Structures are given as C-alpha cells and as structure tokens.
C-alpha cells in the first residue's frame, strides 16, 4: 500500500494537490458553520435514574428552572421595587417559551430576598425540554431585558448558552495564537521557510476536513460542541507531528540519494509506516471514548479518532505529493543564520547530543531508571486526593453574567434554593404525596420540602432543599437518603443537579473497564505487530501510566488546590471536572504511544540493520530525539493554546495534554526508555514461541520487501 502511495505521489503529484485544494475548499464551505449545528455539553447517561426522571417530568408537563433575573441595589420592601419587579416579570413573560415567573411578591417566600434585603430575584421556568431550544430562549430573553438597570441574568439555561459562546470565542483565539508560533518553531527546526510552512498547512487541512466530518456526523447523531476544541488542538498537533517525521525523513533521503521516486518510496516505507501505526494507536485510544453513553465523551472520541486518521491520511497522500513537486526546493527560503547553525550541527550521529545522552544514561541505567520513575511517581501522589465537580456556571469567567448570578445566590441568599433535589412521583394520591413529603423532611440534611406539584398523567413533582452544597459529599448523602427512603406503593425517582452528578460518576465508573481494555489491548497489539515483542508493549503501557499519573498529580495541585490562579487566569472550583481525567487519559495515552512508536521504529530499524541492542537504542534516540522534541514543543503549543480558554475544564485539558506530551518527550523518552532498554537487553525483544511464529506471518520488518532494501540508520 505504501509503495502504491509513493507511486501516486511521484506520478500524479499535481492531480493529488489540485484535488486536495478543491476538497479543502468544499470542506471549508460545508463544514465552516459546524458550530451552529452542534449540541451542548452532554454529560448525562440516558439510562440513569435522574435522566429517566427528567423525561417523566417533561412528558407530564413539568417546567424546569431556566433563568434567574437578579435585581440588586433595591429596597425589597418598597412599593417601587415591587412595581419594578412586576414590570420585569411582564417583559420576561412576553416570550412564548416562558412557563412561569416566580418572585417574592407573588409567592411571599423569603428565599427570594437577600440577607441584607437589598437584592431579590425572579425564577423563570421554560417550556422547552430540548437543551438547544432552552438555550435559544434564554438568549432571547436576555437580549429582551438587556440594559435594564441593576438587573443581571443567569440560571442554568443561560449558563450553558454562555459556555457554548465562550467555546467558539476560545477556539478562534487559540487558532490565532497557535499558528504564528507553530510556523516560528517549524522554521527553527527545519531552517527553511518552505519546509516550515508544510506542518501548519497539513494541520489546517486536517481541521477543515474533520469539521466537515463532524458536520456530517451531526446530521446522524448528537455531537457536543466541545469536540471542536479537541479537533482543533489534536488536529494541529498530530498533523504537525506526522508532517515533521515525513518532511525530516524525506530531506534525509534526498540528501542521501537525491530527489526522485526512490527517495519518496524510502520515506513512505519508513516514516510513512510509522505514521500508520501511530495514527491507528491514537485513533484506537480515542475511540475508547465511544463506549461512554455521555455525548460529551462520545463526541470527543468521535472527533478525536476522525482527526487522527484524517491527519495521517493527509500526511501519507497529500504531503508526499507536495514534497514530490518541491523536490530539493523544500529547503528553499532558508535564513542564513539558521543554515550556519545547521552546518555546525551536521556531524556524525556518534557525536550528536541525543546519542551522547543515551550513552550516558545506558552507562548508569539502574540509578537513572529508579530516579526517573520515582520522580514521576512523586508527581502523581496528589492524584490520590482528587475531588470531582460538574459543569455549571462556575466554569465561566467572572465577567459572565451567569457566573455573577450564581455567586450572588450562593453568598447573599438562603443557600441551594436554585438547585433543589427533585422527586418525580407516580401512582400517588394526595395523602401519599403528603406522606412522602413528611418522609423527606425527616431525612438528615433536608432544609425544606416544597409543596407537591400535580402534573399530567398522574405524575407529581416535589422539590427538596438540601442544607448542603449540591456537589458536596454531604449533599450527595442527602440525595442517596432520599432514594432509599420508604415510598410505599408510589414510584419515586430522584433527579436534580445532585442526582445527575452522582449518576454521571456511577456511569463513568461502570464503563471505565471496557474503555481501559480497549486502550490496553489495541496498544499492545499495534506495538507487538510493529516490534514482535511482548515486553516492549508492556513496558510502554507502564511508562504511559507513569506519565499520566504525574500529569494528573500536577493538575490536582494547580486546579483543585488553586495554585497559579493569577498566572493562568482562573478561579479554582476546588475539584476537577468529572469527565476530564477520562478524556485526558485517552488523548495522552494515545500521544504517549505515538512518540513511543516513532522512537521504537528507529530503534528497530537500526537493530534490523545489524546494530547491537545498545547501539540501536543510541542511534534510534539520536535519529528521533531532536524531531520528537520539536514535535512535542509544536504539539504543546497547538494544544496548549487552549490554556488561554476562559472555560476552566478546557484550560485543564489543554494544560494536561501539553504536560503529558512534554513529560513523555523528555523524562520518558530521554531517560526511562534508554535506561530500561539497557537493563533488559535482549529481553526487550522477547516473545513466547507461538507469538514469534505469529509475528513472522503478520509482523513487519524494516527490511522492506517492496523496496528490496534493508534500511539502516
């Protein structure tokens, strides 16, 4: 297959490039507006009790809280304030999506009055049950009352709408920041303006192509808008990685034998084959997220696996065609000062930095392996104290109105009235409803129980107000106790923010073993087919776990414990968003294996060419060290640009992925890999006899039959 791609690139290069340009224009036109077609966050499992309870309430005509209009700087007891609130309620009620508008003056409830009597709020329920329709309604109402003095709008529907808008804004900013830096770093690495343009170009094409695929997918299933952030960062990073390895290898081949079909065949037979393995590993790791029923994780898995394969396809088809057209001109537009530096660095492999470093490490393999592993384990210790939270208004920047309203409700008003635990009750008459309300009042931690609301179809709803924060351990204990209380002949399901959070955690835990198995098995299989060893895949899995534990520990120190808030521009939630470790696991695990594949491919190439085990490691590290480091830096810039996001869990994921890449490319590849390779020696390549026979039939060797060559470093 790779030989056929080489022939296509050299014989039909202009056709391939023209087709790629036309396809990218079409993809840009059709996929450019994909953001408007995507859905909100989507952290719920449809099979859980809380979601089923919501569905039952929706079918019965229950209207959930959607908006909160906060009125500040008033005397709540004055007639003027009453008139002002009633006028505001009338304006809000003009929207057809509004169900009820409750306030202090029509309910008499002190829950609507702040502790100092200087603020009040209106609670607005919305008729639509679809998240997108609720957010659209919230935006319309916010625009309707915009400019009203002393009025700030928030609430769950508006918070989600503002989160979605912020995601799009952050995406544009990240792209604007990333591309100039990526070109600059590519120029430093390639020392050629033409070569430096290729990785960002392929990255841009990968993003455009994946946006089109997401647009198509959105017609078939629900896709979360947050997939755009992953697609952008991962698409840039992977396309740049693959382009780096392809362009570097091609320049190496044309320096050796000149431009032409042979150089392209060698490039695709070596770097191209490595990219195939790498992209399959990354795509498989991200595809593990598809087994989760949460739309957020499913969408990340869908978008991530698609962009990995699209980036690889572009690097294997379009990039070789461009390289074939350029020939030696790939080295054009080379600044003189960078060329002088290149000449100073053009020395034998044995005198290179990475070769000398690997030899230094392999002379002291035991102490360096122990020190490196201990350091990573120590970084991971804070991970054992991780706490989890969910997505609400607190993920927004402090400038967002929904965040301001949420903060005011928590500090100035009786607590937790805006996030009650909701009971969906069926098959209960008035007496049974009163009995259930009495049982709920006896649950420890319950502050109040609102009167039951009779709905259609024999369904009723009861709001239970907890004394505790909805996501705290004690708040969850209240919800659990309500689920366990005796209900007699009535059917009672518990929902609300607390119940959704609890059910999401349980669902993630239930599906996690399958996702882990997918990642572990596919990683093992890909590395086995590539190397013929069972030791190297196991070792790669262990090193990936060390990298991930270190990253998780650092994220807990920063985001959970609230360090670097001023530097990174965020306010700590005191916890980590529930799905973030799973997403980061899939992304970082795939990327760590990605760099491992690049290094192992060069080590195996040297070993197949006759080098000793130790020499093969040194040569492999020398051949890939500079490239992997450059790739890691470029990837860290591409994905790390999302650290500038105003949404805290996107910031967490951007920083976490960048850290994983940098740790893997430095401590793991530079220290752990050579030290462990030296300690294990020939056992690195061991496999049971049946698996050796299997690899002889299905595995790959760098003595490529198609080319009739035994590639040496």
Crossing angle of helices 648-663 and 580-608, in 10° steps, is 20
Token pair for residue 22? 């036309």
Residue 704 falls inside a structural domain: no
Residue 203 falls inside a structural domain: yes
E-assigned strands of 3-78? 65-72
**Residue in the structure block whose two tokens are 């320096």:** 255
CB 99 within 8 A of CB 127: yes
pLDDT of residue 449: 93
pLDDT of residue 496: 93
Same domain assignment for residues 615 and 603:
yes
CATH number at residue 461: 3.30.70.100
Same domain assignment for residues 446 and 509:
no
pTM for the predicted model, two decimal places = 0.85
Same domain assignment for residues 306 and 429:
no
pLDDT of residue 334: 61
Phi, psi of 270 (to 5 degrees): -110, -75
Residue 605 falls inside a structural domain: yes
Residue 382 falls inside a structural domain: yes
DSSP calls for 177-203: HHHHHHHHHHHHHH--HHHHHHHHHHH
**Boundary residue ending a domain (123, 154, 185):** 154
Same domain assignment for residues 581 and 609:
yes
Task: List, in order, residues 6 or more apart from 361 with CB less than 8 Å away.
Answer: 368, 670, 671, 674, 675, 678
In the Cβ-directed half-sphere of 482, how many Cα atoms lie within 13 Å? 34
8-state DSSP, 464: E
pLDDT of residue 344: 45
8-state DSSP, 245: H
Same domain assignment for residues 519 and 665:
yes
**Boundary residue ending a domain (439, 471, 502):** 502
Same domain assignment for residues 648 and 556:
yes
Residue 41 falls inside a structural domain: no
8-state DSSP, 450: P
CATH number at residue 640: 1.20.1640.10
**Boundary residue ending a domain (484, 502, 520):** 502
> Exposed e or buried b for every residue in 607-629, given b needs 16+ CB within 10 A?
bbbebebbbbbbbbbbbbbbbbb
**Residue in the structure block whose two tokens are 């994909």:** 34
CB 512 within 8 A of CB 582: yes
With H, G, I as helix, E, B as strand and everything else as coil, classify residue 417: coil
Same domain assignment for residues 435 and 542:
no
In the Cβ-directed half-sphere of 615, how many Cα atoms lie within 13 Å? 11
Token pair for residue 359? 């030899």
Phi, psi of 454 (to 5 degrees): -85, 125
**Residue in the structure block whose two tokens are 């239930």:** 510
Residue 57 falls inside a structural domain: no
CB 688 within 8 A of CB 640: no
pLDDT of residue 594: 78
In the Cβ-directed half-sphere of 379, how many Cα atoms lie within 13 Å? 20
Task: List, in order, residues 6 or more apart from 566 with CB less than 8 Å away.
Answer: none
Same domain assignment for residues 494 and 509:
no
Q: Which helix (H) or strand (E) holds 238?
A: helix 227-257
**Residue in the structure block whose two tokens are 């003009």:** 94
Residue 580 falls inside a structural domain: yes
User: Which regions of the chain are under pLDDT 50?
Assistant: 340, 342-348, 702-713
Alpha-carbon distances, residue 203 vs 224, 309, 635 (angstroms): 22, 12, 11
Give CA 455 to chain center in angstroms: 40
The domain total for the chain is 3
CB 103 within 8 A of CB 123: yes
Token pair for residue 65? 């809280």
pLDDT digits (tens, 9 = 90+) for 318-361: 999 988 888 777 777 666 555 545 444 444 456 578 888 989 99
Same domain assignment for residues 331 and 435:
no
What span, in angstroms and rounded, lies between the C-alpha atoms of 596 and 237? 16
Q: Which domain holds residue 513?
A: 2-31+162-341+348-390+503-698
pLDDT of residue 166: 86
Number of C-beta neighbours around residue 238 at 10 A = 34
Same domain assignment for residues 364 and 484:
no
Same domain assignment for residues 436 and 485:
yes
Alpha-carbon distances, residue 429 vs 15, 65, 488 (angstroms): 74, 25, 12
In the Cβ-directed half-sphere of 184, how many Cα atoms lie within 13 Å? 7
pLDDT of residue 706: 37
Number of C-beta neighbours around residue 424 at 10 A = 26
Residue 46 falls inside a structural domain: no
In the Cβ-directed half-sphere of 533, how many Cα atoms lie within 13 Å? 18
In the Cβ-directed half-sphere of 178, how many Cα atoms lie within 13 Å? 33
Q: Which helix (H) or strand (E) holds 491?
A: strand 491-495
Phi-psi region of 564 (alpha: psi -120 to 50; beta: other; left: phi over 0): left
Same domain assignment for residues 130 and 209:
no
CB 382 within 8 A of CB 555: no
Phi, psi of 101 (to 5 degrees): -125, 110
**Residue in the structure block whose two tokens are 């208004």:** 393
Longest CA–CA span in the chain (Å) reads 93
């Amino acid at each position: 297959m790779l030989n056929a791609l080489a022939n296509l690139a050299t014989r039909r290069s202009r056709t391939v490039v023209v087709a790629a340009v036309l396809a990218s224009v079409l993809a840009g036109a059709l996929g450019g507006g994909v953001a408007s077609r995507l859905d909100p966050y989507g952290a719920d499992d449809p099979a859980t009790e809380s979601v089923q309870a919501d569905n039952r309430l929706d079918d019965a005509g229950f209207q959930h809280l959607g908006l909160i209009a906060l009125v500040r700087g008033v005397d709540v007891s004055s007639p003027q304030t009453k008139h002002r609130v009633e006028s505001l309620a009338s304006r809000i009620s003009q929207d057809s999506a509004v169900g009820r508008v409750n306030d202090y003056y029509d309910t008499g409830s002190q829950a609507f009055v702040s502790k100092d009597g200087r603020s009040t709020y209106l609670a607005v329920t919305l008729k639509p049950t679809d998240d997108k329709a609720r957010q659209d309604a919230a935006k319309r109402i916010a625009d309707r009352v915009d400019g009203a003095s002393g009025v700030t709008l928030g609430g769950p529907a508006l918070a989600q709408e503002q989160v979605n808008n912020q995601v799009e804004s952050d995406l544009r900013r990240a792209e604007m920041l990333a591309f100039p830096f990526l070109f600059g770093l590519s120029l430093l690495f390639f020392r050629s303006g033409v070569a430096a343009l290729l990785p960002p170009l392929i990255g841009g094409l990968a993003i455009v192509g994946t946006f089109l695929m997401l647009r198509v997918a959105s017609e078939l299933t629900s896709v979360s808008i947050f997939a755009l952030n992953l697609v952008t960062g991962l698409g840039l990073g992977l396309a740049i990685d693959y382009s780096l390895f392809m362009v570097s290898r091609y320049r190496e081949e044309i320096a050796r034998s000149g431009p032409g079909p042979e150089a392209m065949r060698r490039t695709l037979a070596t770097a191209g084959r490595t990219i195939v393995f790498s992209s399959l590993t990354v795509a498989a790791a991200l595809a593990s997220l598809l087994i989760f029923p949460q739309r957020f994780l499913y969408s990340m898995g869908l978008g991530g696996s698609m962009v990995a394969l699209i980036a690889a396809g572009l690097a294997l088809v379009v990039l070789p065609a461009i390289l074939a057209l350029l020939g030696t001109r790939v080295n054009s537009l080379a600044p003189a000062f960078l060329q002088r530096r290149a000449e100073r660095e053009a020395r034998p492999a044995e005198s290179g930095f990475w070769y000398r470093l690997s030899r230094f490490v392999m002379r002291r393999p035991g102490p360096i392996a122990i020190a490196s592993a201990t350091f990573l384990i120590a970084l991971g210790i804070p991970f054992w104290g991780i706490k989890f939270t969910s997505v609400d208004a607190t993920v927004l920047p402090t400038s967002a109105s929904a965040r301001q309203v949420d903060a005011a409700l928590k500090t100035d008003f009786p607590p937790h009235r805006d996030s009650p635990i909701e009971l969906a009750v069926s098959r209960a008459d008035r007496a049974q409803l009163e009995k259930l309300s009495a049982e709920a009042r006896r649950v420890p931690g319950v502050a109040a129980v609102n009167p039951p609301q009779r709905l259609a179809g024999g369904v009723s709803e009861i709001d239970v107000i907890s004394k505790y924060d909805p996501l705290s351990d004690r708040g969850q204990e209240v919800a659990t106790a309500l689920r366990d209380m005796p209900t007699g002949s009535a059917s009672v399901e518990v929902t609300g923010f607390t119940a959704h959070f609890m059910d999401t955690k349980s669902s993630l835990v239930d599906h996690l073993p399958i996702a882990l198995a997918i990642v572990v098995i596919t990683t093992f299989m890909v590395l086995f087919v590539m190397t013929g060893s069972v030791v190297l895949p196991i070792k790669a899995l262990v090193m990936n776990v060390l990298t991930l534990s270190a990253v998780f520990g650092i994220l807990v120190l920063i985001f959970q414990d609230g360090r670097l808030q001023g530097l990174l521009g965020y306010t700590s939630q005191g916890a980590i968003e529930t799905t973030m470790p799973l997403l980061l696991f899939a992304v970082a695990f795939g990327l760590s294996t990605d760099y491992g594949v690049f290094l192992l491919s060069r080590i195996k190439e040297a070993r197949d060419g006759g080098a000793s085990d130790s020499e093969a490691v040194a040569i492999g590290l020398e051949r890939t060290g500079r490239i992997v480091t450059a790739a890691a830096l470029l990837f860290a810039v591409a994905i790390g640009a999302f650290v500038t996001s105003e949404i805290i869990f996107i910031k967490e994921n951007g920083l976490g992925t960048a850290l994983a890449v940098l740790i893997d490319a430095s401590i793991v590849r530079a220290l752990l890999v050579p030290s462990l390779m030296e300690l294990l020696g020939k056992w690195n390549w061991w496999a049971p006899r049946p698996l050796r026979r299997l690899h002889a039939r299905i595995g790959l060797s760098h003595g490529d039959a198609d080319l009739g060559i035994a590639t040496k470093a």
